[in-house]
Structure 1
Amino acid sequence: MKPIPKLQKWDSTLDLLRDPYRFISRNCQSNHTDLFEARLLLQKTYCMRGQDAARIFYDPDLFCRAGAAPKAVMKTLFGQGGVQSLDEEDHRHRKQMFLSIMTPEKIERLNVLTEHQLSFALTRWKEMREVSLYEEFQRVLTIAVCDWAGVPLADSEVGQRTKQLTSLFNDATKIGLGHIRARLARRQANKWITDIIQQIRDKEISISTQSPAYTIAWHRDLKNELLEPQIAAVELLNLLRPVVAISVYMTLIAHALHFRPGCREKLQSNSDEYVKAFVQEVRRYYPFFPFTAAIVQTYFEWHGFEFPRGQRVLLDLYGTDHDSRIWKEPELFQPERFLIREPNLYELIPQGGGEYALNHRCPGEWITVSLMKLTAQFLTQKVRYQVRNRKLEINFSQMPALPRDDMRIHSVREIKSVPVTVSPSQSHGVRI
């Protein structure tokens, strides 16, 4: 067997935290390999990237997820006992619960609720001196997803619950006060939703039997037992939190439109194919999750390298989405690439790879794409605004990576109607 290239630093955790999205691909390139060994959080870790790596990483016979993520992340981002920590039949059974929620009809209803909240927010934006799109999208999605899921949300609670749900993903990987905020938000959110689950079961609140909250509250495990209320709460939060996290992509859509005005013209043409291509390029080009973790559950060999049982492995999601062997000129923002071909399950992996039902690919990806398409159309056909031209560079040192000023706009006005325009010119990629 070949020796795995190894970083010479005793521990590379600080290097990873300084540049989490590019740490793996940068070291792969410098070592001319798709695999290297590093010491992270004082633990030997294999780091890998690329389509071939993704194929084996999402093989459930080779890898498991239990114990892969750091405890600090499980206690903030995912919550303990949720679907992300399950494997094999338990994972597939719990995953089916989420897949049953992701029907076209239910996704369309979330779209309608989100569009209504965007229109309502627009009336406020017109009166505001300055608007932080990131913060506003968080609020819009919190209201919409709670309504959609069947979670009661009073007007007086909106600010509080928005902050809690946002902190679960916005502060989860931070150190110091940021992480403390995330831990506190997790504790408060767990209590809030656990109470909701218990009220549903006790029939103290009346919600639709078709609502996601009802489905999760009454879900039974493989032993035909109801989930513990705290576990059911974690799973409901695993629906609410990722939807609010789409505010990251919505903000990045505004960033792309600012630096790529030609895309705005094409999006106004109402071509569904181009809207989808634009959204997929935002998902490929911009950073969302930097990497994901798993544990080797059975010894295997890959490209002449040994993977011993129990070894922790990180798959580079961002680096694979920018792999020049998969994507021509990956550093160019070029939606037209998705009009030429449809990527396979291991090429475009911003939210994980593989099959939805069998692997740990996020089933909320359908919702993500749908709400991103809605956002692209809203920002190009319903509203006009000016961008504060300051600190617009993406801050790659934080997770999630966003424009440093959270994409602030001003002089907002509503568009009553937009003429249909189709640009005949072929788009050429630009760096943004």
Structure 2
Amino acid sequence: MNAHRRPLMDRTLPLLAEGYAWLPNRMRDSPDSVVRTRLLGRPALAVRGPEAVRFFYDEAHVRRHGAIPEPVLDTLFGQGAVHTLDGKSHRARKEFFLPLLAPDGVAGLTEHVTAAWDDAVRTWSERPRVVLFDEAGLVLTRGVCRWAGLPSADADAEPLARDLIAMVDGFATAGPRHWRGRRARGRQEARLARLIEEVRSGTVAAPADSVLDRVSRHGDTAREPLDARTAAVELLNVLRPTAAVSWFVAFAAHALHRWPAHRERLRSGDDAFATAFAHEVRRFYPFAPFLGGRTVTDLTWHGESVPAGGILLLDVYGQNHDEKLWGDPYAFRPQRFLDRPPDPDELIPQGGGDPRTGHRCPGERITVGLLEALAIRLARLDHEVPEQDLTIPLGRVPTRPRSGFEITGVRAP
């Protein structure tokens, strides 16, 4: 029997055990960076490389509607989110997000977040111990809520930050983290849907042209306003990814601790180096292991095939650590992005393709802008790093330093 025609074993359980290493382990023996397998009971094809990114994001090949598993929708994205749409509906919904990515929008959010960071640092100096991951989540939540025009932004920040982090932390597990994420999403969708109804009724005033104002008025192809629950989902899809930058803040602190030579250049305020450092943090450290979509038709890639209705996977973690693309992928070297800007089909920590028309994360520019600013502040922060468990387990998705990156002896500027 031809090896390609043998029944495929379902590899869902090994995925849960191996995490980020699951696809790279299987790609290792494939010279063409393609793997045929079975996942969630369906035939699947996993691909990697710039050409594969373009193949994956071709809407003639893959659709998102019905492709994202329910557990991921019920924690990370939300039912009816932009991530679940295709074609005209996807582009129309994305019109809400795109103005937020303009330079003025990114700069405004960064200003609010850095102000919240500076306020927080003054309180850290009064505490014997600070867990940076937790504090970054709170800082980012305070900043994005002020920027988005949410009322009572500071008063609601702590419970909201816990819920936003829980949504991200629980999307890739079947255990208690997942159920915390589900409950958090349900709680915040209901709260924000009520807020949107109050804005529409005039009970609450949203600042003109704020995120809250925009989402309350936004309509898709029929130009009718979104129902309040879907509008709340999309508002969370601004708040949640911003809070998720706390993972990258913890990774940036980890990188500066391991490779302190980068600290001085960041302290100097070298903007180009801060951008390169942000890109290298996103490339080097694990966040999304892979992305997936449902195949529209029978597909063949480098001699391997998957039928219509199967799953096409893009190996994100493996591509960001592919020796053919990065030379020495397990060396943390921001200078690689000073030599040349990142190719959008090579560096894909938040997906590939064009964010204006495709499924690349529309908040990527925000992530980079926030990480640039906060990396400089981290480098300038006067503190100690006590003995702790800084391992980053690849079996946990999404992973982070086990300790959350504890710091002590913070001295306010």
Per the normalisation by structure 1, the TM-score is 0.92
Match of 1:257 in 2: 256
- What's the offset of the Cα at 1:372? 0.2
Conservation of the 8 A alpha-carbon contact between 1:317 and 1:352: yes
Q: After TM superposition, give the deviation of residue 289 of structure 1 in Å.
A: 0.9
Task: Number of aligned residue pairs: give it.
Answer: 412
Work out whether residues 282 and 349 of structure 2, in 8 Å CA contact, stay in contact via their aligned partners in 1. yes
Q: What secondary structure sits across from 1:38 in the alignment?
A: strand
Name the residue aligned to 1:342. 341
Q: Which residue of 2 aligns with 1:225?
A: 224
Letter in 1 for 2:400: L
**What is the distance in 1 between the residues matched to 2:38 and 2:295?**
17
Q: How much has 1:170 moved relative to structure 2?
A: 1.1
Could you say if the C-alpha distance between residues 323 and 195 of structure 1 is closer, same or farther in structure 2, counting changes exceeding 3 Å?
A: same
SS in 2 for 1:295: strand
2:406 maps to 1:408: yes
Q: Secondary structure at the match of 1:306?
A: strand
Partner of 2:112: 113
Matched letter for residue 322 of structure 2: D
Whole-Å Cα distance in 2 between the matches of residues 6 and 162 of structure 1?
Answer: 48
SS state of the match for residue 326, structure 1?
helix
Match of 1:83 in 2: 82
Q: CA deviation at 1:90?
A: 0.5
Provide the rounded CA distance (Å) in 2 between the counterparts of 1:340 and 1:6.
Answer: 46
What one-letter code is carried by the residue in structure 1 that aligns with 2:338?
L
Whole-angstrom distance in 1 between the partners of 2:290 and 2:78? 18
Distance 1:228 1:394 in 2: 40
Q: Structure 1 156/267 Cα, relative in aligned 2: closer, same or farther at 3 Å?
A: closer
Task: Please list, as runs of the form range in 1=range in 2, the aligned pairs for 1:231-250 lying within 5 A after superposition.
Answer: 231-250=230-249
Secondary structure of 1:402 counterpart: coil
Name the CA distance, whole Å, in 2 between partners of 1:348 and 1:97: 25
- For 2:395, what is the secondary structure of its paired residue? coil
2:173 is matched by which residue type in structure 1?
K
C-alpha distance in 2, partners of 1:206/1:299? Answer: 51
The answer to whether the 8 A contact 1:79-1:234 is kept is yes
The alpha-carbon deviation at position 154 of structure 1 amounts to 5.2
Partner SS for 1:20: helix
| Aligned-partner SS, 2:158 | helix
Alignment-mate amino acid for residue 412 of structure 2: E
For 1:388, the equivalent position in structure 2 comes to 386
Q: Is the 8 A contact 2:34 2:302 kept in 1?
A: no
Q: Is the 8 A contact 2:295 2:310 kept in 1?
A: yes
Is the Cα–Cα contact under 8 Å of residues 45 and 305 in structure 2 kept in the other structure? no
Q: Which residue of 1 aligns with 2:375?
A: 376
Matches within 5 A, 1:61-210: 61-153=60-152, 155-210=154-209
Measure the CA separation in 2 of the matches of 1:177 and 1:270: 42
Q: CA RMSD in A?
A: 1.7
Deviations 1:165-198 (A, max 9, x none): 1111012222222211111111101101101111
In the TM superposition, what whole-angstrom CA distance separates every residue of 1:224-277 from its partner, at most 9, and x where no partner exists?
Answer: 211111111101111100000011001110000000111001112222111111
Partner of 1:419: none
Q: Residue 5 of structure 1: CA displacement?
A: 9.0
- 1:321-368 per-residue CA deviation (whole Å, 9 max, x = no partner) reads 111111110010011111111222210000000111121001100100
Q: Point out where structure 2 has 5 or more consecutive residues left out of the alignment.
A: none
Q: CA deviation at 1:33?
A: 4.0
Please give the alpha-carbon distance, in whole angstroms, between the structure 1 residues aligned to 2:286 and 2:368: 15
Distance 2:137 2:193 in 1: 22
In the aligned structure 2, how far is the partner of 1:354 from the partner of 1:21? 22
Measure the CA separation in 1 of the matches of 2:4 and 2:135: 46
Match of 2:396 in 1: 398
Alignment of 1:331-370 (within 5 A): 331-370=330-369
Moved more, 324-333 or 153-162: 153-162
Letter in 2 for 1:279: A
What is the CA–CA distance in structure 1 between the aligned matches of 2:142 and 2:133, rounded to whole Å? 15
Preserved CA contact (<8 Å) 1:7 1:37: no
Q: CA deviation at 1:158?
A: 2.5
Letter in 2 for 1:403: P
Could you report, residue by residue, the CA deviation over 1:279-329 in whole angstroms, capped at 9, with x for unpaired residues?
A: 111111011111111111133433233342211111111111111111110
Q: SS of the counterpart of 1:352?
A: coil
Counterparts in 2 of 1:284 and 1:154: CA distance versus 1, 3 Å: closer
Letter in 2 for 1:144: G
- Which residue type is aligned with residue 393 of structure 1? T
Partner Cα distance (2:88, 2:400) in 1: 37
Q: Could you say if the C-alpha distance between residues 346 and 84 of structure 1 is closer, same or farther in structure 2, counting changes exceeding 3 Å?
A: same
TM-score (norm 2): 0.96
Alignment of 1:27-46 (within 5 A): 27-46=26-45
8 Å contact from structure 1 (residues 6, 37) kept in 2? no
| Partners of 1:404 and 1:398 in 2: CA distance | 10
Separation (CA, whole Å) in 2 of partners of 1:25 and 1:124: 43
Checking the alignment, whether the CA contact within 8 Å between 2:298 and 2:305 is kept in structure 1 is yes
CA distance in 2 between partners of 1:64 and 1:153 (Å): 39
Determine the C-alpha separation between the residues in 2 that align with 1:289 and 1:210.
32
8 Å Cα contact 1:24/1:48 also seen in 2? no
* 1:286 and 2:292 are equivalent in the alignment: no
Contact 1:190 1:230 survives alignment (8 Å): yes
> Structure 1 vs Structure 2: percent identity of aligned residues?
37
